[in-house]
Amino acid sequence: MGVFGSALRAAAECDAMPAAGWQRSAPGMTFRWDARERVTTRDATEPLRGKMKFYGWMLFLVPLLLPGQALDPNTLKLFHQPADVWPTYNGDYSGRRFSDLTQINQSNVDRLKIDWIYRITSVGPQRGVGGPTIKSTPLLVNGILYFTIPDHVFAVDAHNGQELWQYDFEDHGGHLVGQRGVAMYGNWLYFLTPDGWFISLNAKDGKERWRKKVADEKLQYFTTISPLIVKNHVLVGVGGDAMDVRGYLEARDPETGDVQWKWWSEPLKMGDPGSETWPNQDAMDHGGGMTWLPGTYDPELNLIYWGTGNANPVFAGQGREGANLYTASIVALNPDTGKLAWYFQASPHDTHDWDNVETPVLFDATIDGKPRKLLAQAGRCGWFFVLDRTNGKALVSKPFSGTGNWAKGVDAKGQPIPNPAKEPKVDGSMIDMPAMGATNWPPPSYDPQTQLFYVNGTEGYGIAYLYDTSAHPEGYGGGGGGNFDSRSALFAIDIHNGNVRWKHEVKQQGFGGGMTGGILTTAGHLLFTGDASNLTAFDPATGKILWHQRLMSSVSNGPSTYTLDGKQFVLVGAGDSLYALTEAGK
């Protein structure tokens, strides 16, 4: 486990009393304990609200025993990141969440056992959401895991699950619905708080460097995103529907936190490209289009790909007639300037709260006899799209949940054409998928070995209602409900034609039912995801269940994998706990 891991374990075992929150998990023992000493920092422009927990005695050990924290920028690749690092939210720039590791494979997955568990015991119920829930995918850099929940950042030794430091923040608003994780640039971590603070921490000890305001919580913006590092840019998106505000994406300087460029989800003024899809300036100024999940990046094309959220008012579209660009879209931007290269709109004139922020996954494959640079997305609107990522041309547009009957067909660009008869109505309008969408934020995966795209989603029927019938509605103006015959499913979709090759369906019943969390595929011919309260391994080619491990809560993040000291680990968050699994006997 290395010198530092040995020192931590020895110190823990020398305590007269066991530290609060320690847990035993076969085959080893891990400890979780409260800090003995606080170190605090202050920004001259803002009252102190962030605090960092760290052992006093560890302050003397850190310079001697910790490996270098700096992230090697060469590990940030489109495909094939090194085995001992998970340097960004999706593992690499592609968003495939596919690992080349093969030590754990179909021949030995039945020997996969829990090696250690880290449980969050220092944070109680969080405002509006209950107990802590790990939705972030931890970064792994130089043997240290960095992960988050709203208002908190944790550094944990990846070898044994022992906490190294914890950073705490006190928010003054925003929503605590989730926190997707940190980004890393050199020695620095970047973290977003619920109330719109962009904070940089020293990865070595969690000490705060600076903080910058990126969004105004008084306008009901909130920030849950894991930032994305592209060259010398930190890309930051926002969320928030309640007050009909514009969405935007910012590039920030990693050294100072200052704005480098800002891209708005709507045209800035009438006459700009895309403004013809809005009735007037006021509608554009309140149009929505949030950017709350990380995008992907192709270094060769020098383009970032980002999903945008639903238009506002959310369900009442009568005051914003038109397609409402660039909401509910995939946009390709130049990361150095923020200039739009192309767009594809998955849900034109969206009136169902179908954020199109789901990961735009990048891969290379042959379609129609031609090798192509591709992008695929399973959208919340229930459709699966495959695009040429060089120009946004649609190659596949097909429903994966239901028949896609909210649309009358597709236009010349392959974009669905909304059916006005399926828009929300006072007495309800039924569609053949759940009203709130066919999927959501949990990350999908693409396996180049099977050439299948995997996503956890839902099927069934839903009804959307219109509450505000005025000519100029505000806020949500309606709601989705009346879901029935709802079924949770893991879909395996053929990227060549959009057909569902296989499907693992679960009838949702009671607490913890259904498919949960994100998806990981590996070169060991394995697919990992949450199935009820289990971490489950499937054969990605057939959908056959190969193995499962019961957890204390449902899987709540995207699983990841790495190799340390010759052992491959699978890492997954479930509720307030992080589980590391490896082959028994390794």
For residue 164, give the nearest of 55, 245, 85 by alpha carbon: 55
CA–CA dist 247, 495 (Å, integer)? 30
CA–CA dist 150, 123 (Å, integer)? 10
For residue 35, give the nearest of 157, 124, 121 by alpha carbon: 121
Residues comprising the chain, all counted: 586
Quote the Cα angle for 110-113-117, to 5°: 155
Side-chain half-sphere exposure of 289, counting CA atoms within 13 A: 29
Phi, psi (5° rounding) for residue 560?
Answer: -140, 175
- CB 200, CB 209: distance < 8 Å: yes
Strand-by-strand arrangement of the 329-333 sheet: 296-298, 303-307, 329-333, 340-345
**Can 216 be counted among the known catalytic residues?**
no
Catalytic hit among 171, 241, 353, 576: 353
- CB 117, CB 557: distance < 8 Å: no
CA–CA dist 195, 187 (Å, integer)? 25
HEC per residue, 423-469: CCECCCEEECCCCCCCCCCCCCEEECCCCEEEEEEEEEEEEEEECCC
Q: Which residues are CB-neighbours of 338 under 8 A, at least 6 positions away?
A: 249, 251, 261, 262, 263
Residue 213 amino acid letter: K
Assigned token pair, 305:
């790909």
Q: How many CB atoms lie within 10 A of CB 218?
A: 12
CA–CA dist 38, 577 (Å, integer)? 23
- CB 134, CB 558: distance < 8 Å: no
Q: Which residues are CB-neighbours of 42 under 8 A, at least 6 positions away?
A: 48
Q: Which residues are CB-neighbours of 408 under 8 A, at least 6 positions away?
A: 417, 418, 419
Residue 25 amino acid letter: S
Phi, psi (5° rounding) for residue 110?
Answer: -70, -10
Task: List residues with catalytic annotation.
Answer: 353
